[in-house]
Amino acid sequence: MSILNKFSLEGKVALVTGAAYGIGFAIAEAYAKAGAKIAFNCRSEEHLQQALADYAAKGIEAKGYICDVTKEDDVRAMVKDIAETLGTIDILVNNAGIIKRIPMTDMALSEFEQVIDIDLIAPFIVSKAVIPGMMEKGHGKIINVCSMMSELGRETVSAYAAAKGGLKMLTKNIASEYGAYNIQCNGIGPGYIATPQTAPLRELQADGERHPFDKFIISKTPAERWGNPEDLMGPAIFLASDASDFVNGHILYVDGGILAYIGKQP
């Protein structure tokens, strides 16, 4: 058997949350090209229809749901429908997330709680809903989209860093609790990726200069560029495939080397 068969997702059922665009869309596209059946959720009919059109333009038949992943009953209903229409979920990617760039002392409690709800509590809710089916089936892959903020702090992202740090530890605990059922739970930690969410940080200034944060990220990245969503495709396929069956509780940072780099000497 070819070693490449270990990376095939042929016939697998994958749920990628928040996969209407950006990182989630790229991961779902990669899974579809590797043979998986794709389900995704988003929060509005407008986003759903646009995403379905975007998937169709790529030749991908995806099943979309309007589902708030912070609502346990909604998630259970979505998971049940996926099982009935596509089959039991083999691969879950907890990708849905938000960030609010607000200094901590200016951030309202409700804003902090919203980030925690979507970025940390939702992965708990969705994982809890799919794990029983994985246990019954005898295998499963859960991939949590973590962040460099799972390891590092930075001004204005207290809620995001708290959520992503918690998600790293939730990843390790799911691996610890369900590894005996042949369920692997790992994380992907993207670096700074060029998506609509980070577009404001890459906008040219009025004087034609690059955004100061853009310059900062380039200077801190050995690859000297922002990542693209496509840079996450290979790592995501690896963690969803049989090739990673003995990889559990690991966070794979796809960051162009930022976490390994102290920076250039002034």
The residues annotated as belonging to the active site are 160
Q: Which two tokens stand for residue 194?
A: 């060029």
CA 260, CA 69: separation in Å to the nearest integer? 34
Place of tokens 């790592």: 235
Instruction: Residue 238: name the closest of 93, 62, 55 by CA.
Output: 93
Element spanning 38, H or E:
strand 37-42
103 exposure class (CB count in 10 Å sphere: 0-12, 13-18, 19+): exposed
Instruction: Residue 23: name the closest of 143, 184, 127, 185 by CA.
Output: 143
Contact call for residues 184 and 238 (beta carbons, < 8 A): no
- Rg from Cα positions in the chain: 18
Look at residue 79 and give its three-state secondary structure: helix
φ/ψ of residue 92, rounded to 5: -120, 130
Place of tokens 């901590």: 104
